[in-house]
Structure 1
Amino acid sequence: MELLSSIRSRTREPENELTISPALDQALLNEEVPESETPLDVVSPDDALSALTGKPTFKNLARTLKWLQSTSTSENDFNILKPSPKAAQIVFSLVDEAIPNYWPLLQDQRSIKSRKTRTHLLKCLSSTAGCGAIISRLRSLLDEFKNRRQNGTGVVASGQPLETLVEVLEATLQSDRFLEGLLKFTRAFYDSQTVRSGLLWKEAVSLFGSGRLLNLVAEVNLALNEVSKDVRDGSWIGRGDQYAAWLGRNLSLMMEGLGPDEGFQLDYEAQLMSKALSLGYTDYVVENAFSRLLLGNESSLRTSRALLLKVSPYEQRSLLYSLIRVLSKKQSKDNNGVLEASAALLSGLVGDATSLQEHLAGWLVTHLQSTLWKALDLFSDKLYIKHSPILHQEVNAQILLTLAGYAYRADKSSLAALSRSSVYLKAISNHLAASSTKSRSLGMVVGSAISELLDEPGKRLNFRAEDSKDVDWSFYKSLLDIKGKMGKIVDLQTDLKSPNIPTRTMTKASATHTGPSNGKKAPASSKIVKIEELYSESESESEDDLPVYAKPDSDPSDDEDPELIVRNKPTAPVYIRDLLAGLRDTENFDRHTLALKAAPSLIRRKANYGTEVSDHIEDLASTILGLKDQWEAPDFSKLRLQGMLALLIASPLEMGQYFSRAFYSGDYSLGQRISILTAIGLGAREIAGAGGKDDIAITGAPSPSSEASASFPSKRLPEKAHAHYAAVEAAAAPMNALTTQLSRTMIAPLAASAADQLSGPSVLKVRGTFSSRMEVEARRPAPRANPLSAIIGEAFFYPLIGRWAIQIQSFGSSNNAPQASPTVLAHLLKTLGMVLHASGPFTPSLPSLTREFWGFLLGLRGRAGDDRAVLEGVLFALLALMDVNAEGEGQRRVAESHARELLETQEWVGGVLDAVRGGEEEGERCRMLAAGVLVRCREVVERFQRLMVGEMVGFMPG
């Protein structure tokens, strides 16, 4: 055995030679330039645009984004962040091509390359033009999504493209310094005095400060919430309070970074503040924009006041009143210095500005008068005097006198008018007539104190203090002279909490990813996952006196055997051509398994985007249908089923016919044929909106390996036979589970009706009946279009029923056809019943479907008598048939057009119910289904007996 490999020479230059082993040479070539990839050098905008529009590989995309990101700080002719025709084309290509294909791959935070590329992509989009391109694409996708939801032509609308773009928008805007970056860019690349600079900033203000972005994402949240409740509250960009808080935080950091030319910057910030106030969430904007000042940072008073004076007088008033509301909510019960500190803050902001002084004085006087009248109304209430605790009455009296003193100094005439009002006279009279001596004393002291302020000495109310010793007269009268004092803004540091910033919530898909790679804090999810104690870097430095270094990039060669390391690990496919290549590469386990796992999401994501899926859909279908579990993967059956479902949802009409042909004419095993039927049944339910992704969780079948481990070894068949039958059982399990659940759903109303008939006279249940009907109507979902009803016959029903007779005849003996196997036939019947039931009672082609299906089922009565599985399938299909014809005019149509079939079914099912004995699970299921069919048949017969007499002349049962 050779221990050394041979060497060879390769000439790179005429005078130089390099000897290298073939194995190492091949490894270097594979690592640098894979066979499927051409090296790409991007040195110009044209190169970048050509790369992005040519469906680049991940490495070429990474190189392109790295070069584009490097131009963001360049002062050359091209800058990806500066508006230009070439930059607009590149940004459009990023939004239209790179994001839909590669965003799921860029979300992998375990890969250093993915994190860096994701950062470069977000940097390229961090401009007004970049966000504008995302918004334009989002609007077009939203309109297309709504049209697909409303047209009812069998096309399934996918919300994945919308969710992806919203995730990208969230990641782009996640920084609270985003708008500051736009402003710095404007100052760095444009003269502050040029018209172009002003126009560029106005465009940014119009996009981010107004409600354009907020309203669009809110509409997307509502649209996605109709598809799946898992979206929860949706993106924080579509939540007014959270978006306004984000704007406020951006404004706060912009004020913090004011430079020497702060006049220019303040003008731009004032434009943004004015636009943000029009959102309708003023308090959230103000609370976060002035957060540093509200937390007692007196150094920010100058910039805050400068910004306040830059806006219009009306907006100054809104900002001032909002600040007062925020300060009022922040008051602490136990700290006495908060009020004085708040007064100092307001005084510092107002200063000598006449308009602000007028606004503040007007608010104070109005608020004072309103509060004074409220306190007086309470003081005059007889019930309050009689029943409220004395402590509450004392507090109210003290507030009343304190406010009266302020009102007297601010506007003597307003207090005089109050003292002559009927409310005041009633208050004094009611207190003097009270049975409690303490209440009488309070009336005396309040009346005497206010009279001393307003009346002349000879006309004052004179109650002698010795008449009531229950209150301290001098204390209460001293309240009239209380005057507030000015505190210090720094006192707010300990007395106020941080601004009430709403928690950001995101879509379910984006919330599952880890944080961004740039080290900044990611938006918090509304779900608390873990609480743990954190230590800051400053603490660790002070303890160890050692600098803290960033964690180095992980290298698998540190812990693993170098000979076992796979340097070129495959990445998830982002194009359909790569997916096909991965599915067909059965020799590479990693690539094949990764393609199988990525197939469902990739097909669904690209189904309504471009023509990739439609161009390769038959190749995908034949590849996925023909997959075999040669690697014995635990989730192989489930992943293949999900891939087939994705294809069926992508093109229901074309794939429905393709799967029907494959079921009859394809060279497939029993397990594969059953998987085809399962995909048809689950796909039809998802198209109709009756099942969807939840069906996979409900019908998840255990893998054969798990079943084998659970069974006793001596009960197993030989390994080859066991693998065959276990695969068949695993393929049939999802449909069996869903059929059982659907059977119970259809039989439940019949059982409730029977119980209602046996529970007593109907006259005693009129009230309850109407109440229950009202509750049912309240819970009934709003009517909507059923896309399945338009394509059920052409896509599913007629191809499956029509080919049955042809296939059986082609085999000569019906027992030789693989479709005639009891397991496959039972599955076919359950699939047809499920598809018909999902289409609903208002399907336009229901009469013709009923005629074809009923005849088909009655023709299988002989086979049903020979095998219990086929019997269960026939009974389930009959129950579904009767159930969809039980609403509207369906029962009358059955009585008129299918009287003979109805009576034949009733007679046969009655015989089945007598012949099948209970005691075992399979027999009980058949009896339950037979009872349901029999009840439905008798409902029609009893209701339309006279109508059926003419139709059944000459009919002899048996």
Structure 2
Amino acid sequence: MDGLLTPVSVIRTEERKKGSQPTPIQELGTSAPEKTHPNSQQSFPSSPEDALDLLRNEPGYDPLIATLVFLARDQPQDPAAFNIRRPNPLSAQLVQVMVSEIVPNYWTLLKEDTSGHNTSGLSLLLSCFCSITGVNAILARLKALTQEIKSEPAGKGKRPDLSIKIGILLDLLCNVLAGDSCVLQVWRISSAGLDSRPRLRPLSQELLAIFGSGRIVSITAEAGIISGKQDIKGPAVDVWPADGLKYTKWLAQNIVKGQSPNSAQEQTKFFSDLFVKALRLGHPATLIKDVMSRLLLSEGADSQRFGLLLDSMPQMDQRKVLFSVLKVFSDEYLNRLGSCESEQSSAMIAACAGAIRSLVGTSETRRHYLIEWLTSSSGAGLGESVGIRRAVVAIVSQDKESIINVLEKSINQFGDQLYIKHSPILQQEAHAQILLLSAGYVSKISLIKLTIILRTSIWLNAISNRLAASHQRARFLGMVVGEALSGLVNKDDKKLDFHMDETKIGEGGWYKGLVEVFDQAGPMGSLLKPQVATPAKKPASKTPAKRPLARQGFIIEELSDEEADVAPYAKPDSDSEDSDDDATLVRRDKPRAPVYVRDLIGYLRDTESYDHQKLALMTAPTLIRRKANYGTEVAEHAEELASILVGLQDKFEVDNFDDLKLQGMIAIVVARPEAMGSWFSKTFFDGDYSVSQRASVLVVLGLSARELAGFETSEYAAAASFPSKALPEQIERLYISSGPPDDQLARGSSLKPLPANALDNMARSITSDILTPITVSAADAATGPDVLKLSTFTSRLDGTQQQSSRGNTKIKTKPRSRPRVRAIPNTTAQLLSTAFFSPLTARFQAALHSPTSRIRGIVFQPHLLALYLKTLALVLHAAGPSTLALPQMTAELWGLLLGTGVRAHAVGDIGVTQAVLFALLALLDVNENRMREVCQDMGKEVVETQEWVMGVFTGLRGGDGGGEEEQVKMLAAGVLVKLREDVEKYRLLMVGDLIGYG
């Protein structure tokens, strides 16, 4: 009989008390079994395989928590012990089941678990996903769901469950990555037991591919956009990994956390490689700034940690990081010091020099990079103040051979003829400062060596080439440097003196004073920032909903006869705000217009108030212009106000938002042209802005230059004038004629509300004014390109009508005489040259030689490139023929237009081609009275331009009824006519310069 019965299961009961008899037979009922307690033996899996089976069979909440406790328990550092956070096939299966089945069903319940911090269901689940396998599983699932949504037919409705699942997975990923030690935990868990470098290398490469390649950003961004998170119930998820800037800051925190002096060599190498990878995610300046502020410029920071991070990098990446650190010091601390003549400036420069010294340390490679930064043709901090150059020279001067090397290279470069002719003037000014600073240090270290250098032919030729330069600013730098260095080695009767006041006072005196500067590296106390602990996870702020105000009750009381003499309130006067039929729409809390610039900034920063935003935008142009010359409000807050306006977004769809925003920025530039012109030029190239925001910066520079030159008059200028500056209306009529003057350009036109293509319209108007006389004369003489003989050409330019009969063109209406070019004072023209034109051209050339491809990709974006070239042409045209720096401006713009980068992008892009032709036309127009000098000095450029424009002209079809291509062909024809006239007139002057051309 024993063989007929097979036991199905064995139940072990507890041992009964003494004296109790065991029950041999137990009645089996049909009722449901009792719920197993989570802490009982049945709810706890005994092996990873049991846990996998339990998770696959749709467990209840309590068995799930028990399984998570088993999987997330702390394991000893034993490679043989199972750990779900280590890469292996079984852990991959477990994580895959959890991400596809458990998380979508239990995520809400797990987030509502209010048990202990380390024992809650959410913390246990996140612990299981904190690994390579976990992050990869989440990303793979997100990508699969995204592809599933994209593959759905267009006609059918979207499945809501897919959006909900993607939202849950995005929330899970944000929680897994939260904190500044996530990468460090993944590294430690994954590398446990791997003691050899060959075994750690594949692990390191996989981690770099996950965290440093931008995969997380791209997948989460696409999933967030396609899924349509607005359909998810509950509060919106802040998917910060989808934002490249936020993700870069998160990586910086994790890199700092993983970098310590006591860490193993493999760990230091991994985080150094992660730092290099993160530099290519699109926000290198933000990454370097955050890492440097935590490792170097925080209280209690150990500079050795940053040195270890640099030592593990490849040499080219060390160079890139070091140059970026110098830019951070310049932007954050030294640029605001200006010419650095105060005692506070010396202390700040010493602190920055101390920080640079701690970075360089004893590394000869990094010291060589500092010398390269000082002496390279595109280095020395183009557009930055002299403070950063003083700090770097102070560090290099600690080695005698290094500072002498800097001096010799600077002299060779300073006197090179090609450098003088083609380098931007801002670049030459920076290298002149390096030359003077290094000469001052060499004179203190070894005066004999400086004397020997100044007696060589290289120095004599440098001064001679400078004095023979065509550009006035280049000659000025040569005279200043010659007098300063001669004064270091010669006595009063033998030192060089040009007997010019401009080299002794003002800017010339400041330049000559650089040889007396002696900076030393000091403590970094003034640079240190309090260290702020980063929370593990910052909960999303929940703004409570506004509750409607409760209705206040009132009591109606009947007055007795004794109180009948109470005087009633008088009836109020009519109020325009009470005219609305609905009394609930009447507002009594309307904000008042700001009267101070600081209040204006507060209104602009209030992005949650429609009234504040609209009122600030409407008030900004008038308020800034009114405060420009009264007090220091605008001067103190100009950069802050400009940065807010550049990055301001139209959140409330305000009427005329773009126009009001542009007018506010134009008012800032007009109020502070010398400082803000350079600031906007720097912002266009260095700022982290979109294409439309960069385009607005160019529009502001172009329109501001026109207004400063007197070509335009803003409608806000009259409104900003104080009453004491304006005549009464009756008296004003006696002195100001109401009739239109003959010369419209001399009078100045009124700046109406600006359209989106304000610069294009202005360029088209200037083109029409320049080409109209050419077309009239060409039609009368029946010469020139065939396009100029078309009967419709002149009519499209200024409305004249023509009749053609067998090649003879007769103009029925009287041709309009070309308005004369407005001559403006030299002070304004010089301002446009130094504050607008030179910063734009110099930074463009620096961008061409930039080691990062990001800035080149931004600059050569077709729309921005065309707008940039038109802006330069408008600034040059606004400066006019009376500009002292016109030869240098002409050479810089002409060389930029003939550069391979610009002409290569003009091929196939009609907009860039039109911008190049317009810039050439503006060049020829402004230099109309000095074309002899142009043909003599730039003969090759003139002939090369003629050949290129002819190729453009013959390559365009035209005849498209006034389309864009025909307009460009007409523009090319006008340039060709002006070039041919000048080439024929000055052909003999160009013969000597053209020998060997082609």
Same fold per TM (> 0.5)? no
Give the structure with the higher percent helix. 1
Where on the TM-score scale, by shorter chain, does this alignment land: which range? 0.3 to 0.5
Question: Which gives a bigger RCO, structure 1 or 2 (Cα 8 Å, sep 6+)?
Answer: 1
Q: Taking structure 1 as the reference length, what is the TM-score of the superposition? A: 0.42
Q: Taking structure 2 as the reference length, what is the TM-score of the superposition? A: 0.40
Larger-gyration structure (1/2)? 1
